[in-house]
Structure 1
Amino acid sequence: MIPKSIKVKKISQSLQLTYSDGTFELPYEFLRVHSPSAEVRGHGVGNDVLQFGKKDVVLLRIEPAGNYALKLVFDDGHDSGLYDWEYLRHLCVNRDTLWQTYLERLQAAGRSRESAQISFKAL
């Protein structure tokens, strides 16, 4: 199902997709950690790579990929996933379940949504 409209919501840091049956917002962090790229999904079943430290990731731009997908470019350099219409719809409809599963995986791995902070001390 192709969205009727797609809007970047900079204040809420989300992508808004409107379909004939409703409007959905997908936060940038959610989109980044659920990227369909091989970097995130891995190269086969069970080979996915847990993404962490992406809480403050920013969507820099959206590029069309033919008539079937969007390429999302994030400020952490990630730009290799093609979000086809079917996958975007899946993310919209299953957002809450996918997010909860992600948070549980982070906790089990002892990882955080927070990006790593480097502190410098004057000598």
Structure 2
Amino acid sequence: MIAALQAAGFPGVEAEGEVIHARLWSASVEFSATPEAGGWRLAVQWPVRASAAQVDGWNAANPTARMDVHQGETRVSMWLAEGDAAAVQHWAAVAEAAVATLIGWRRNQRAPGEGM
């Protein structure tokens, strides 16, 4: 998986035990890749708590990349088979879309004058 993530252009790829960490881009959020059932579970979390309607909407539009609230933050995760380079590329697009969506949701939660 390390080689697949590096080949896909993700920076900062490193292993911590069985879990691999990488960044979507150099100044971006980190995501994890955890071995699971003959493949890998990739996941990105963002410090915003999505509503049930937001989670349901995301999941309806993105059936391969499920959203939930995990440890108080919104998480998007996707399972991919070992060696599936196309799925790694798909993850890149889905994770970018998730982060953009979550940033928008967080901005909409802010009170006037709260700041950036």
Could you say which TM-score interval applies, normalised by the shorter chain?
0.3 to 0.5
Larger radius of gyration: 1
- TM-score by length of structure 1 reads 0.33
Which structure dedicates a bigger proportion of its chain to strand? 2
